[in-house]
A = this chain, B = another copy of it.
Amino acid sequence: MKIGMLGTGTVGKRLAGRLVELGNEVLMGSRTADNPEAVQWAKQAGKGASHGTFEEAARFGEVLFLCVKGDAALSVINLAKPESFKGKTVIDVTNPLDFSQGMPPSLFISNTNSLGEEIQKALPGAHIVKTLNIVSNEVMIDPGITGGEPTMFLCGNDAGAKEKAAAILKKLGWKDIMDLGDISNARGTEMVLPIWVRTWTTLQNGNFAFKVLRKK
């Protein structure tokens, strides 16, 4: 599958690398076509990996991953041009984290709105699926490192896009996937971040994830 990765940070590189290993073609997009992080990543990842602008990544992929800092998400979408996303599944991994007051971060949008909803509004022709935002990048591509089978939530307005996202999650190793409904449920999953950050602080590492324990 052709995948466009928007973002060259740790999350983007980790996901993109694993997606190439799984046999996908991944174009990593950035503000410039020759971002050193993206160039180096493409060289290391090898066959199937390439790099370019945000717009090139958005046009390239059948499925797109949005892995930029939350406060950059809407400007990155504008750089990539909203029409580049038309009809595509956009897996939104962003979080509206506000570090301006130090640690732990608060959320710059929450409670009665979410970043996932704002991204869907900015891209009315695309199908946003919010998922993977509640775990560290290490856990995203290897949920078993938590010592169990954690739960991954997803939500979005389009059933077909959620099926595509769930199929990718399964290839990444996720076995317990819970569909919460439409994109407004991103309010719930983004508001997991405050407890995620505090659990990280308590455990002093990110190799954990939440499991919804329930009788089957």
Contacts of A194 in B (CB 8 A): 111, 187-188, 191
Q: Does A110 contact B (CB under 8 A)?
A: yes
Q: Does A112 contact B (CB under 8 A)?
A: yes
Q: Does A125 contact B (CB under 8 A)?
A: no
Contacts of A214 in B (CB 8 A): 146-147, 203, 207-209
Contacts of A104 in B (CB 8 A): 188
Query: Contacts A110-B110, A147-B214 given: A197-B208 contact, CB under 8 Å?
Result: no
Q: Does A153 contact B (CB under 8 A)?
A: yes
A148, B197: Cβ atoms under 8 Å? no
Give the interface SS of chain A, mostly helix, strand, loop or mixed: mixed
Number of this chain's copies in the assembly equals 2
Contacts of A202 in B (CB 8 A): 178-181
Q: Which residues of A contact B (CB under 8 A)?
A: 101, 104, 106-107, 110-112, 145-150, 153, 178-181, 185, 187-189, 191-192, 194-195, 197-199, 201-203, 207-216
A-B contact pairs, 24 of them (CB 8 A): A101-B112, A104-B188, A106-B187, A110-B111, A110-B191, A146-B213, A146-B215, A147-B214, A148-B211, A148-B213, A149-B213, A153-B198, A180-B201, A180-B202, A185-B198, A188-B194, A188-B198, A191-B195, A203-B212, A209-B212, A210-B211, A210-B213, A211-B211, A211-B213
